[in-house]
Amino acid sequence: EVQLVESGGGLVQPGGSLRLSCAASGFGFRYHAMSWVRQAPGKGLEWVSGISLGGSSTDYADSVKGRFTISRDNAKNTLYLQMNSLKPEDTAVYYCASKAIIGVIRSPRKEDYNYWGQGTQVTVSS
């Protein structure tokens, strides 16, 4: 069974840090570019970050650039998102998603991906 399982979400104070993980199974993780996409309460989906198949290329939404770092460990079939200097506006459900392409994908649309996880809640509040 194909699975993308996000973890690491929770409650954190503004300025704090959190590290999200996405464990992949049931498909060729090493042959997929990966993205993090989020959905804030009452808002639409927002693309956050993407990483190429081999991890050599990364990109970020302007809203998180300089604060978030995406990475992957193909040996562990795991995607990560290190989130620093968190702001209340970062509060959202964070999803990982995969697409069988080499380069970075920047779409927030579920339909543009091969697989999509169930999400993990991140709440930034004092």
Output the CA torsion sign for 52, 113, 74, 85. positive
Q: How confident is the model at residue 54 (pLDDT cuts 50, 70, 90)?
A: very high
User: What are the backbone dihedrals phi and psi of residue 90, each rounded to the nearest 5 degrees, phi first?
Assistant: -80, -10
Check if the beta carbon of residue 20 is closer than 8 Å to that of residue 37.
Answer: no
For the stretch 19-53, pLDDT in tens is 999 999 999 999 999 999 999 999 999 999 999 99
* Residue 106: predicted pLDDT: 97
Write down the pLDDT at residue 104.
97
User: How many angstroms from the chain centroid is the CA of residue 36?
Assistant: 2
DSSP type of residue 110 = G
Count the alpha carbons within 13 Å of 2 in the hemisphere toward its beta carbon.
10
- pLDDT by residue (tens digit) across 72-89? 999 999 999 999 999 999
pLDDT for position 102: 94
**The two three-digit tokens of residue 22, written as one number:** 């996405």
Distance CA 92, CA 124 (A): 9
